[in-house]
Amino acid sequence: MDNAGVYTLAAMQIGAPISGAVVAMAPMPDLSGMSAVSLEASLQYGSGGTSLTAIVVTSFDDGVTWRHIARFDFGAAAATRLANIQASGAKGIADYADLGAQGVNDGILGDRLALILSSVGTYSNTTLSVRAAVR
């Protein structure tokens, strides 16, 4: 892979509620040949809010369609969560399904990554960072 490295998918304040269709930052393109990605999602909680969902997604069609690869769920407490996705993980045909709480779709990595956020309640003094170590 030509562009191995650590990428920031989000480094942001969380405030007012966010709808589930929001892509947090510009997608990380040009990751063709990605064989694995380690993900770290960290919520530094201040106050307020009741739930936050951060879904890392990948695409096989230049960002037209996004597929869930890891879902991180947070509440009203600071937490750091990790996931590792490998392109060689899936060994058979499987129907695609969006992820439920704290889920992983191992074995599917396209050529780009992005992040979709949703939250319930208004957070204050709360930040989210999501980083991807691509190899």
The domain ranges of the chain are 5-88+102-134
Q: Are 74 and 43 in contact (CB under 8 A)?
A: yes
Q: Looking at the predicted structure, is the pLDDT value of residue 26 above 90? A: no
Q: What is the pLDDT of residue 95?
A: 83
**Residue 21 vs residue 37, higher pLDDT:** 37
Q: Tens digit of pLDDT for each residue in 76-87?
A: 999 999 999 998
CATH 2.60.120 assigned to domain 5-88+102-134? The reply is yes
Q: Looking at the predicted structure, is the pLDDT value of residue 94 above 90? A: no
For residues 25 and 11, give the distance between their C-alpha atoms in angstroms, rounded to a whole number: 9
Q: What is the CA radius of gyration of the chain?
A: 14
Q: What is the pLDDT of residue 88?
A: 81
Q: What is the pLDDT of residue 21?
A: 61
Compute CA distances 70 → 15, 53, 116, whole Å: 23, 10, 11
pTM to 2 decimals? 0.92
Q: Of the given ranges (41-45, 51-55, 67-71, 85-89), which has the lowest mean pLDDT? A: 85-89
